[in-house]
Structure formats: C-alpha cells, structure tokens
Amino acid sequence: MMAQDTFLSSVLETVELSVLCVLVVASSAVLLLLLGSGRKSVGLMIIGLMMCWLQAGWVVVTLLCVCYTLITFTAEREDPKLPVNGKSVLITGCDTGFGHSLAKFLDKAGVKVYAGVLNESGPGAEELRRYSSSLTVLQLDVTDTKQIAEALQLIKNQEKTGLWGLVNNAGVVGYLCEGEILPMRMLNKILNVNFIAGVEVTQAFLPLIRKAKGRLVNIASVAGSVPFSGFAAYGASKAAVINYSSTLRQELSPWGIKVAIVQPGHFKTNVLGNEEHWNKVQEEILGNLPQEVIEAYGEEHICSLQQFSRYLSTVGSSDFSPVVKDIKHALLSERPRDFYYPGQASWALSFIYSFCPTSLYNVFVSTLFKFPPPGSSFKK
C-alpha cells in the first residue's frame, strides 16, 4: 500500500511539474510574441530563464530557449505594411510633444495628416504649417464640443472614403501631488481632458473610421496600469483610457476597426506644465485645504511638490522616435499589436507590477521613484 501511495504521489508530482512546464513555456511564448523582439524580449527571456531554472530545471530552460528562438525569428521578419496612398489621419494635441512629432513623421511618410492643436496661432501650429503645405492644422480643443463638430465637418467634406486613423493624443498631467490634497477642480480637468474628451472625439469620428475600416490609436501611459505616488489622478484617467479602449476593441471588431493602446514611459515633453501653473495650483491647495490636512502633510512638503514637477520636466528622453514609430506601426501595419510600450522600462514596470507581490512592488517603486513622503521636502 505504501509503495502504491509513493508511486501515485510520484506520478502526481510529475504531472504537476509537466503542467507547470507547459504553462511557463506557453506564457513566456505569448508574452514574447506580444512584446516583440529586441531588448525587451531578451530581458523577459532572462527573467523567464531564471524563473524556470528555479521551478523546473534544465528541461524547461531548453524548451523555452527553442520557443524563444522560433518566436524571435518570426517577430523579426519584415512586417507587411499597408500602402499610405489615400490614407488620412487625425491627431489631437499636436502643439508639442508626441503629437507634434507624429504629425511631421506621418506627413513625411505620405499620410494625409490633420493636426489638431489647442492654439492655432501658437508656435507649434506655425511650425507645422512651415514644415509642410500638405499638412492641415486644425483648431481643436478636445474639451470644446463646437470645435470637435467643426473639425468633423471639415474632414467629412474632404475625406469622401472615410478617415483611416484617429490618434487620441491630447492630455495633461495636471499637478503631481498626493490624491488627498489634489484640488477637485484639477481632478475634473485631468479626467475631462485625458478621458472624457477623448471619448467624445472618438464617438464623433467613428462613423468616418467605420467607413474606411480604419484604426483607432489611444495614447495612455504606463501610469495607467502601474501606480506611482503623486500620479493618482493622472493614472486613474489613463487607466480609464486603457479599459475603455480595450472594450472598444471588442465592440468594433465586427466592422474591421482595429484599436491600439500606446503606453509610453517617461519622455521629456511639456505635459507637466510650467512654473506659472505650478504656483497657481500650490496657492489653490494651501488656500482650500483644511488646516488639519496641511498640518498632517506639512506646509514645507506641499510647497516642495512643484520642485518635483520641475525635476521630472528636466529628465527623461527627448527622443520621441520610439513613440511615433509604434504609433505608425499601429496605423499602417497589417498586423498591429493591441498594446505598445515605447520607452525605457515601460514594459518592465508593467510586467513587474503584474507578477510581483504588491508589498515587494511597493518597496521596489519607492526606491526607484523617490516621491517625497508626507512631512518631508523634495531632494534629488
């Protein structure tokens, strides 16, 4: 009887180990296929190898290596691109940053670009006009229903076969501070610009996109799936973008419309605002917070928060090419991905947050991302 029990236990352990091997290999294969080849695939491969060696030994490592080689070979083959002739794309938030660079990039590639700007008389809009005479600059405050309707009518009159692509790029960070002390006015603005306005623009232009069986590309952020201190409102708005877009992907598939979500890491853009804006919000916080909350956080801490925004505005990559290339892929590839993670550590942070215990992640991110704790002031 003891021998039978031992044999049965051995069989069960073997089956469990085999199932674990299959799951690990399959999961790693799917992740590598989704994330593509390159540095991030190599990084994920190293993580996978370490995990598999600890869990199941050299057999799984060998299987995973074979699987990785096959997937990398497939991913690195030339990805078929759609012809750009006759394709038109509307991009919001083209005054600066990603939208500005993307408008130039797509125009140079031969796409008909409608660049929506917050200020059609501003330096960003003027630079786009000088860059190309074929690029159409539109006054488009995404929170203004009238301006959305006017942009829709203009594009509808010019694009008889429909609009191929919409890139919802316009967004704001608002102000970096704890969720408890963020003014409700600012919270409403962040949610409105980053999420609600994008939904309104999407609903307005979807009939034209459906006509062309085109693409919808929504710019979210790694902060939409990974929590960071100081980014409660911004992260919540981008999480809403991710969930809404993922649902639309399912709902719009019967018409052949593809929906892609881009989650960039930290880049050096103007999205954080400027000194005048920071000073105004700081005064609003100090003028409206209950005294007991001010005492809990400390006035020195509250006044130091804009130093953190100032610091973040000076760091990060100023090379937007990873972002614009991913958006181009989402718009013009025959096989666009559902998610894109341009920028250093964007995919890694999402991966770590998804699979690490929360307590371990909190230690990791608090070490990496030094947001000043209550009662202290910001120091680099």
Q: Which residues are catalytic?
A: 234
Q: Is the dihedral of CA 60, 62, 65, 66 positive or negative?
A: negative
Q: What is the pLDDT of residue 375?
A: 66
Rounded to whole angstroms, the Cα distance separating 227 from 225 reads 7
The reply to whether 157 falls in a domain is: yes
Residues pairing with 81 in the sheet: 333
The reply to whether 134 falls in a domain is: yes
Tell whether 241 and 180 lie within a shared domain.
yes
Q: What is the pLDDT of residue 52?
A: 53
Rounded to whole angstroms, the Cα distance separating 202 from 216 reads 8
Q: Phi and psi of 112, rounded to 5°? A: -75, 115
Provide the 3-class DSSP secondary structure of residue 221: coil
Provide the 3-class DSSP secondary structure of residue 216: strand
Closest CA to 54 of 64, 68, 42: 64
Tell whether 70 and 95 lie within a shared domain.
no
Beta pairing class for 215-219 and 258-262: parallel
The reply to whether 205 falls in a domain is: yes
The reply to whether 203 falls in a domain is: yes
The reply to whether 292 falls in a domain is: yes
Q: Domain range holding 17?
A: 2-75
What CATH number is associated with residue 336? 3.40.50.720
Q: What angle do CA 242, 246, 248 make, to 5 degrees?
A: 120
Q: What is the pLDDT of residue 14?
A: 44
Rounded to whole angstroms, the Cα distance separating 196 from 253 reads 22
Alpha helices (runs of H) in 253-338, residue ranges in sequence order: 275-288, 291-297, 299-312, 321-332
Rounded to whole angstroms, the Cα distance separating 69 from 11 reads 31
Q: Phi and psi of 119, rounded to 5°? A: -135, 105
Q: What is the pTM of this model?
A: 0.79
Residues 6+ apart with CB under 8 A from 53: 60, 61
Among 21, 50, 75, the domain boundary falls at 75
Tell whether 117 and 70 lie within a shared domain.
no
Q: What is the pLDDT of residue 378?
A: 67
Running along the chain, 380 residues long, what does each successive block of 10 average in pLDDT? Answer: 49 46 50 46 50 50 52 55 93 96 97 97 97 96 98 97 97 92 94 98 98 97 90 96 98 98 88 84 92 93 86 82 96 95 79 79 75 72
